[in-house]
Amino acid sequence: MEYCELGSLENARLSPVYTDQEKTINHYFAQLIKGVKKLHNIKLMHRDLKPANILVTKINDKTRLKIADFGLARDAPDSIANLTFCGTPYYMAP
């Protein structure tokens, strides 16, 4: 894995360097959705998506997000429901 010098989104949200401007949030969210869509296109479920597992880096002076920690990731065949309870409770869907 490459080094992401800006840490994770968990660290970023606590840092005064990052502001909660709508444009920045929209930019991050769009990148995150594209990443999750790519995972789903290859039939992969991350199952523990949270700020600590989203790394932040700079590429050509642009901030980029990278999804990390695929320890709980599993194949997601169309015909089989995923009934396994896993992930970080605070970030799980209700």
d(CA 51, CA 13): 9
CA-closest candidate to residue 7, choices 58, 42, 49: 58
In tens, the pLDDT along 4-46 reads 888 898 887 655 555 557 788 888 899 999 999 999 999 888 8
Total count of domains within the chain: 1
User: Do residues 12 and 18 touch, judged by C-beta distance below 8 A?
Assistant: yes
pLDDT at 16: 54
pLDDT at 81: 58
Domain that holds residue 49: 9-91
pTM over the 0.75 mark = yes
CA-closest candidate to residue 67, choices 58, 78, 57, 77: 57
Q: Assign 91 to helix, strand or coil.
A: helix
**How buried is 38 (Cβ within 10 angstroms: 0-12 exposed, 13-18 middle, 19+ buried)?**
exposed
Residue 2 counted as domain residue: no
Which residues carry out catalysis?
A: 48
pLDDT at 9: 87
Helices (H) and strands (E) in the chain, counts: 2, 4
**CATH code, 68:** 1.10.510.10
